[in-house]
Amino acid sequence: MVINVAPKSTKPKDFKDDFWKSKDIKISIGEIAHDEAKGGEEDVKMGPTPKPNVTDLRSWDMKLIDRYEPFYAPFCDMCCLCTYGKCDLTEGKKGACGINIEAQQARMVLLACCIGAAAHSAHARHLLEYLIEKKGEDFPIDMGNNVDIEAPIIRTVVGIIPKTLGDLREAMDYMEEQNLHLLSSCHTGQEGSNLDFESKALHAGLMDNLGKEIGDIAQIVALNMPKGDADAPLVELGIGTIDRDKPVVLCIGHNVASGAGVIDYVEDQGIEDDVEVCGICCAAIDITRYNQHAKVVGPISKQLKFIRSGVADVIVVDEQCIRTDVLEEAKKNQAKVIATTDKMCLGLTDMTDEESDKIVSQLINNQIEGALILDPDKVGEVATKVAMQIAADRDMLKLLPDMDEIQKVAHECTECGWCTRVCPNGIPMMEAVVAAGEGDFTKMEELYDNDICYTCGRCEQECEREIPIMSIMAKIGENKLKEQKFNIRAGRGPIQDVEIRRVGAPIVLGDLPGVVAFVGCTNYPEGAEDVAKMAEEFLERNYIVVTSGCGAMTIGEYRDEEGKTLYERFSGDFDAKGLVNVGSCVSNAHIPGACIKIANIFAKKPLEGNFEEIADYILNRVGACGVAWGAYSQKAAAIATGINRWGIPVVLGPHGTKYRRLYLGRTDKEEKWQLNDIRSGDVVSGEPAPEHLLYAAENREEATVAIAKLCIRPNDTSKGRQLKLTHYIDLHRKYFGTIPEDVYKFIRVEKDIPITYKKDIKSILEEKGWEPRALPQEPSIRDFPDDSKAEIQGK
């Protein structure tokens, strides 16, 4: 019995026990959500958990983490969060507050998820209020003719059907309240159980998903971004696409408001052909969703390279993932910085209420080192005017040292090796610098290509000779400018309902081998090409590949032997062989959104207030797998944890272990994989599918095989299982040279055996003493009849 002592959310609930879930009991619970747009004809029955409080989905979380036990890899042996400490938590020691190492790790994960959720949601709140101010709170949420389920996460979690921008406030209020309670539990002397910290982290992840959906819906409808358009246009991508002879305004960050302000001003003035407006990170994605004349410089890994190149005359920063030393870097080549949100003010004077021309004058005359302007329209005017006035004078500043000079400074290298040691990936920077000192720039070029060096700059500040390694890297890039021209399909936003109708059945039955989503940041262990190659591998195997943010840009930077990008080779349809760029970080919400829609549109599961049933459906039937290969920020922690709560597994790159916690399954513990067949009422043995919920792979090859395996689901038909196993075995043979020895665990009946591998697999089955088992008709991990589970466990 769980005693709920947490503060109630704005919508109290009456039913917290499980009795209503029992078979054969049909009762109506909670409020009715009215679909007024359809004349109020569709009254939607509210499920059991609208606006779930911190503990309301705890039982679901405990089911998940009973099967996928938290795996902790402490990043630090101590706790330094309070003044009792630092406390040493090694060898079973507890902190002065009583916390142990497991709970401390889980607490830090929760903290990261709260930060991530806050970043997305504060972004969403800012956008929402800004857009309501511009368009009015009654501005309709119209996602186009092909999207009726406009807000699957809001519907499922909050239990409302938002019709206007103003309606989104209710979801926002709820999310903010929840995040406050969650953050509170990180305080010293609150939660003491690592498992409850995990449950809270999962809740924070869910809130993150919610915040993202609010933000993206608001900007899609109010800024008229693509609404599920599979044929969204290809837009230019790459450092080489930026016309250096024009004034350049660079937008960095995630909040489209200020970038849109720049584009609006440029359009209003009719000077689109005279100014380059471009972006880095998700700001780039979203300004191209707003206006396809804007250009994408590239993902976050291009940030320091591009700033150092001096090409940007004005740098407009908004929020998230921006270098916090951007002002210092900009000063080096006299670029001007405009900060535009309360999240990042950079110590600059607030000029919001000043006349635009006065700000322009002060910036041009170096009377101020930058400006904080909190009005996006004014940002547009000031940034454009400044860029146009200083561009000509900055021509010489756009020239990096010539190659002779680079060779001379690189020759100063003492070969101490610390540049390599402090590199997050330990890349051979010293060898590249030494070679450059001898006039051989090829090694440096190799590090530049595909962002093997993602220019964090740690090497440069470590150098005892102060060799400007990042400037050398930027210069090397200039030598390859002509090659740095790619494209990306503009972010399309949601998946259309009609697409879900088309692929829902093939996905759930396993005829379509899976949906693989490449998301997240670009601190890739061995460069960006790994992500593109994984995407290519799964596209060629008929998977649906979804992507967003920096991952989407990375995929666009890869060309095949014929010089085509993956966006040119594959359509933007949410279907087999489709490469679907949903948009920016906040657009990630459409990925679980698509899975939710499958449960609703294909399986007719009601959404409103019905989280647990939907998540259980996704876990057991929707063969989707997320990949965050360059996991980096707290946002990525929140994204992955939220995705996990919906029952979707995620594969991280090797840096992902630094999040401190994974969710790993144990295939040797058969009792963990039992399933409740809801239709028959029987408890049946299941397979480890998906085997892990949050996994970190050491390299691309391992990840590729893991992804294929993680798309297997208990609900697969035999035909679907054959198909999925064929891909799993093919890839295992390709990268490991053998048929996987665990393949027998996924064979339920002989019909599951892929024909191509029948002989080999039969031999394995014989060796393992395999026996056929029943296929569940409606697999679930909920509502086990306790007695029968105990009976089976007893065996």
Partner 1 sequence: MDIIGIDLGDLMNERVIPWQPTVIAGPKQALLVTPETAKMMLKKAKRPLFVVGPLAKEEPILTLTKEIAEHWDLPVVTTGDAYKIFKDAGLDSKQNGIVEIVNLLKDPEWKGVKGEGQHDLVMFIGCIYYIASQGLSTLKHFAPHLKTLTICKFFHSNADASFPNMKDEEWLKYLEKMKTD
b/e sequence 670-707, b meaning 16+ C-beta within 10 Å: bebbbbbbbeeeebbebbbbbbbbbbbbeebebbbbbb
Question: Is the separation of the CB atoms in 664 and 69 below 8 Å?
Answer: yes
Which of 57, 64, 101, 406 binds partner 1 (CB under 8 A)? It is 101
Question: Is the separation of the CB atoms in 507 and 432 below 8 Å?
Answer: no
Over the window 491 to 530, marking each residue x when it contacts partner 1 by CB under 8 A and - when it does not, the resulting string is: ----------------------------------x-----
Which of 18, 42, 43, 88 binds partner 1 (CB under 8 A)? It is 88
> What is the rounded distance in angstroms from the CA atom of residue 399 to the CA atom of residue 185?
52
Which of 17, 133, 404, 668 binds partner 1 (CB under 8 A)? It is 668
> What is the rounded distance in angstroms from the CA atom of residue 235 to the CA atom of residue 285?
10
Q: Which stretch binds partner 1 (CB under 8 A): 52-60, 240-248, 559-567, 654-662?
A: 654-662
Is 483 a residue that touches partner 1 (CB under 8 A)? no
Q: In this structure, what token pair is assigned to residue 749?
A: 């009946």
Work out the number of other CB atoms within 10 angstroms of the CB of residue 347. 9
Instruction: Give which of 13, 23, 357, 57 is closest to 199, Cα–Cα.
Output: 57
Is 75 a residue that touches partner 1 (CB under 8 A)? yes
> 39: which residues sit within 8 A by CB, 6+ positions away?
none
Q: In this structure, what token pair is assigned to residue 79?
A: 């706790």
For β-strands 314-317 and 248-252, DSSP reports them as parallel
Question: Is the separation of the CB atoms in 33 and 624 below 8 Å?
Answer: no
**Angle, vertex CA 754, rays to CA 753 and CA 760, nearest 5:** 75
Which of 269, 657, 685, 717 binds partner 1 (CB under 8 A)? It is 657
Is 84 a residue that touches partner 1 (CB under 8 A)? no
Q: Which is nearer to partner 1, 74 or 140 (CB)?
A: 74
- Give the three-class secondary structure for 164: strand
Which of 706, 712, 731, 761 binds partner 1 (CB under 8 A)? It is 706
Which of 736, 766, 773, 793 binds partner 1 (CB under 8 A)? It is 736
> What is the rounded distance in angstroms from the CA atom of residue 502 to the CA atom of residue 748?
27
Shortest Å distance, C-beta 669 to partner 1:
10
Question: Is the separation of the CB atoms in 251 and 265 below 8 Å?
Answer: no
Q: Tokens 């670009």 correspond to what residue?
A: 522
Q: Tokens 């976050």 correspond to what residue?
A: 300
Q: Which is nearer to partner 1, 668 or 786 (CB)?
A: 668
Is 426 a residue that touches partner 1 (CB under 8 A)? yes
Q: Which is nearer to partner 1, 192 or 233 (CB)?
A: 192
Stretch 597-636 residues interacting with partner 1 (CB under 8 A): none
Q: Which is nearer to partner 1, 70 or 593 (CB)?
A: 70
Shortest Å distance, C-beta 436 to partner 1:
22
> What is the rounded distance in angstroms from the CA atom of residue 14 to the CA atom of residue 559?
57
> 372: which residues sit within 8 A by CB, 6+ positions away?
338, 339, 340, 345, 346, 348, 349, 350, 351, 352
Over the window 353 to 392, marking each residue x when it contacts partner 1 by CB under 8 A and - when it does not, the resulting string is: ----------------------------------------
Shortest Å distance, C-beta 527 to partner 1:
14
Which of 31, 35, 77, 274 binds partner 1 (CB under 8 A)? It is 77
| Helix, strand, coil % over all residues of the chain, rounded to 5 | 50, 10, 40
Q: Which is nearer to partner 1, 697 or 747 (CB)?
A: 697
Q: Which is nearer to partner 1, 74 or 144 (CB)?
A: 74
Is 670 a residue that touches partner 1 (CB under 8 A)? no
Q: 73 phi and psi, to 5 degrees?
A: -125, 90
Is 769 a residue that touches partner 1 (CB under 8 A)? no
Which of 632, 695, 744, 746 binds partner 1 (CB under 8 A)? It is 695
Q: Which is nearer to partner 1, 81 or 154 (CB)?
A: 81
> 627: which residues sit within 8 A by CB, 6+ positions away?
516, 517, 518, 519, 520, 531, 534, 551, 650, 651, 652, 703, 707
Which of 132, 284, 639, 662 binds partner 1 (CB under 8 A)? It is 662
* CA distance between the termini of the chain: 27
Q: Which is nearer to partner 1, 129 or 702 (CB)?
A: 702
Is 76 a residue that touches partner 1 (CB under 8 A)? yes
**Angle, vertex CA 782, rays to CA 778 and CA 785, nearest 5:** 90
Is 85 a residue that touches partner 1 (CB under 8 A)? no
Total residues at interface with partner 1 (CB under 8 A): 39
Is 424 a residue that touches partner 1 (CB under 8 A)? yes
Is 701 a residue that touches partner 1 (CB under 8 A)? yes
Shortest Å distance, C-beta 97 to partner 1:
17
For β-strands 32-35 and 42-45, DSSP reports them as antiparallel
Which of 72, 265, 646, 728 binds partner 1 (CB under 8 A)? It is 72
Question: Is the separation of the CB atoms in 143 and 232 below 8 Å?
Answer: no
Shortest Å distance, C-beta 471 to partner 1:
24
Cα-based distances in Å from 448 to 24, 283, 442, 472, 474: 63, 23, 10, 10, 8
- Give the three-class secondary structure for 336: strand
Is 74 a residue that touches partner 1 (CB under 8 A)? yes
Is 655 a residue that touches partner 1 (CB under 8 A)? yes
Shortest Å distance, C-beta 657 to partner 1:
4
Q: Which stretch binds partner 1 (CB under 8 A): 265-273, 284-292, 334-342, 661-669?
A: 661-669
Q: Which is nearer to partner 1, 58 or 732 (CB)?
A: 732
Shortest Å distance, C-beta 443 to partner 1:
18
Q: Which stretch binds partner 1 (CB under 8 A): 259-267, 392-400, 613-621, 663-671?
A: 663-671
Over the window 404 to 423, marking each residue x when it contacts partner 1 by CB under 8 A and - when it does not, the resulting string is: -----------------xx-
**Angle, vertex CA 770, rays to CA 769 and CA 771, nearest 5:** 120
> What is the rounded distance in angstroms from the CA atom of residue 309 to the CA atom of residue 746?
53
Q: Which is nearer to partner 1, 78 or 678 (CB)?
A: 78
> What is the rounded distance in angstroms from the CA atom of residue 551 to the CA atom of residue 522?
7
Q: Which is nearer to partner 1, 88 or 243 (CB)?
A: 88
Shortest Å distance, C-beta 519 to partner 1:
20
Is 654 a residue that touches partner 1 (CB under 8 A)? yes
Q: Which is nearer to partner 1, 426 or 681 (CB)?
A: 426
Is 434 a residue that touches partner 1 (CB under 8 A)? no
Is 735 a residue that touches partner 1 (CB under 8 A)? yes
Q: Tokens 């991530």 correspond to what residue?
A: 116
Q: Which stretch binds partner 1 (CB under 8 A): 83-91, 278-286, 299-307, 377-385?
A: 83-91
> 475: which residues sit within 8 A by CB, 6+ positions away?
400, 401, 403, 406
Shortest Å distance, C-beta 74 to partner 1:
5
SS3 sequence of 63-91: HHHHHCEEEECCCCCEECCCCCCCEECHH
Q: Which is nearer to partner 1, 69 or 377 (CB)?
A: 69
Shortest Å distance, C-beta 660 to partner 1:
8
Which of 112, 697, 711, 712 binds partner 1 (CB under 8 A)? It is 697
Binding site for partner 1 (CB under 8 A): 71-78, 88-92, 101, 421-422, 424, 426, 525, 654-655, 657-658, 662, 664, 666, 668, 695-699, 701-702, 706, 735-738
